[in-house]
Amino acid sequence: MTCLYLNYFVHGIGLIILAQNMKELGDLWKQPLATVSYVISGIGIGKLFAYLVLGVLADRFGRKKFIYFGIICYLIFFSGMLIAPTIQIAYLLAILAGVANSALDTGTYPTFIELGKNNGSANILIKAFMSAGEFVLPLLVAFLENRELWFGWSFILPTFVLLINLGLFIPVKFPLANTITQVSQQGSLQLKAMKKNWLAVCLALYGYTSMAIMILYTQWISLYAQAELNFSNWQSHFLLSIYSIGSIVGVLIVFALLRKNVSETTLLLILNLLALVSLTLVCWGQNFNLLAIASFAFGVTAAGGVMKTGLNLFLKLFPRIKGLLTGIFFTFGSLALFSVPILTGWLSKTSVALALRSNMIICVIGLGLVMVTWGLLRNTTTLKTVRQRISLIDRGIIILLKRRFRAVDQVGQIKEQEHQPILDRAREQVILQKIAVESSDQQLVPYLQDIYRQIMKNSRNYQAANQREKNLNFEEKKH
């Protein structure tokens, strides 16, 4: 299944290749930056129209065909971009890249689930391969620029990888598409319809902002560093690469925290807050080291799995329509892919700084959405959270019971020395009486008393067993 991941390495490159070559493509097509930015928006358009349709079709017709389709579309995109005779054709090719992305996603994600593997870790690996692509490409672009080599090599590399991957992919056998999805009630939220509607709106919009924040950043950071801060070519592209490394680190952190049962809403809240802080530093800092650190931190917090965490939360809200929700969430994400380049292209006519800094507004809106979500979900209980609480209480009870058994054992020893019987009805009666007095909830008294009868029965058995064992040891020593 390596080829499924390799596709995402290429996809990571595809996401930023136009933005990273904006100047060169502008020269090639004899168009200003803003027009190249419009072309980039084509990717979003492609995804926008393809996600829901391809998602439904991939469920029906099997996954492999759609991954083939994705690879072929990407091949046409990467190789065609260099020879696109007009800006319109370039736009069509960008749309094709968006379609390729949707086809890969709708084919790959369900496949991982159908493979029965831990899809959490598969998702992490997908993201890691994507980030690897996003990491390698800016370095390659900077290398080509510095050596004054043809920028087109950055398009030839992914074409080459795709061709190799196609060869690897042909013999791969796919699991049968499993159309029955189990509805997991675990973790489904018990909320009022009104609250749910608001949450759905917030989270769908979060699909937009969480994607927009990343797209805007990757599109403008290198240009901003060059144009506004006079950073060298290498330094400017490095900022994007270090952001990609940050995103990989972020994915690992989010993965680890979610496995430790940190709540999704808390995680989203903290990450979005930190993303805003690091973005502020990037937007207003001047020093390269500071920007590099802030860019890394922004990668960790804004591109390290927050979008996926938002989606997870969304799916928990309505566990019966996961497929549709994934489509809706990614459609909102695609809206961002499509609209951000257009809006920022327009802003860049004023200044590149304005284009980059507009990300602050999106970041604040994203944080607002997460805060509303957090507010709506506060005090709500899920099966998972209540069970977590019970497990914690049980841990405490076990510690106390262990102590009780130790004390009971001591009583047993004293009783044996004093030749008293183990059973002491009077004492048991006192204990049961005390429970009735001490329990603030009278309804619980019979249940508590029953539990204590069991505890004391087990105490007696434990005492008897210990006495027997002691005597046995004593007999053995005698012989």
Ligand X SMILES: O=C(O)C(=O)C[C@]1(C(=O)O)C=C[C@@H](O)C=C1
335 binds ligand X (CB under 6 A): no
User: 428-443 burial string, b = 16+ CB within 10 Å, else e?
Assistant: beeebeebeeeeeeee
**Nearer to ligand X among residue 113 and residue 411 (C-beta):** 411
Rounded least distance, CB 256 to ligand X, Å: 43
Distance CA 2, CA 17 (A): 23
H or E, element range at 472: helix 445-478
Tokens at 433, concatenated: 């009486």
Q: State the number of binding residues for ligand X (CB under 6 A).
A: 10
Q: Which residue is nearest to ligand X (CB)?
A: 459
Rounded least distance, CB 319 to ligand X, Å: 45
Contacting residues for 300 by C-beta, under 8 A, at least 6 apart: 246, 247, 249, 250, 253, 274
Distance CA 71, CA 360 (A): 35
408 binds ligand X (CB under 6 A): yes
Rounded least distance, CB 330 to ligand X, Å: 60
Torsion angle in degrees (nearest 10) through CA of 325, 331, 334, 336: -90
Rounded least distance, CB 453 to ligand X, Å: 10
**Nearer to ligand X among residue 59 and residue 428 (C-beta):** 428
Rounded least distance, CB 375 to ligand X, Å: 47
**Nearer to ligand X among residue 183 and residue 451 (C-beta):** 451
The secondary structure of 395-453 as a DSSP string is: HHHHHHHHHHHHHHHHHHHHHHHTT--S--HHHHHHHHHHHHHH-S-GGGHHHHHHHHH
Rounded least distance, CB 459 to ligand X, Å: 3
Rounded least distance, CB 455 to ligand X, Å: 6
The backbone torsions φ and ψ at residue 86, rounded to the nearest 5 degrees and listed phi first, read: -130, 165
**Nearer to ligand X among residue 28 and residue 431 (C-beta):** 431
Rounded least distance, CB 471 to ligand X, Å: 18
Number of Cα atoms under 13 Å in the Cβ half of residue 281:
18
Query: For ligand X, what does the binding mask look like between residues 420 and 459, x meaning CB under 6 A?
Result: ---xx--xx--x------------------------x--x
**Nearer to ligand X among residue 1 and residue 411 (C-beta):** 411
Distance CA 35, CA 413 (A): 89
**Nearer to ligand X among residue 361 and residue 436 (C-beta):** 436
Query: Can you tell me which of 411, 432, 435, 445 binds ligand X, judged by CB under 6 A?
Result: 411
**Nearer to ligand X among residue 176 and residue 414 (C-beta):** 414
Contacting residues for 3 by C-beta, under 8 A, at least 6 apart: 165, 168, 169, 172
Number of Cα atoms under 13 Å in the Cβ half of residue 228:
23
Rounded least distance, CB 446 to ligand X, Å: 19
**Nearer to ligand X among residue 371 and residue 431 (C-beta):** 431
Distance CA 403, CA 455 (A): 13
Tokens at 409, concatenated: 């054992």
**Nearer to ligand X among residue 184 and residue 429 (C-beta):** 429
Rounded least distance, CB 428 to ligand X, Å: 5
Contacting residues for 37 by C-beta, under 8 A, at least 6 apart: 22, 219, 341, 342, 344, 345, 348
Are 70 and 10 in contact by the 8 Å Cβ rule? The answer is no
**Nearer to ligand X among residue 269 and residue 455 (C-beta):** 455
Which among 333, 288, 328 has a CA at the least distance from the CA of 306?
333
Rounded least distance, CB 468 to ligand X, Å: 16
Query: For ligand X, what does the binding mask look like between residues 179 and 218, x meaning CB under 6 A?
Result: ----------------------------------------
Are 291 and 239 in contact by the 8 Å Cβ rule? The answer is yes
**Nearer to ligand X among residue 385 and residue 467 (C-beta):** 467
Beta bridge partners of 189: 382
Distance CA 214, CA 205 (A): 15
Rounded least distance, CB 438 to ligand X, Å: 15
363 binds ligand X (CB under 6 A): no
**Nearer to ligand X among residue 249 and residue 456 (C-beta):** 456
Binding site for ligand X (CB under 6 A): 408, 411, 423-424, 427-428, 431, 456, 459-460
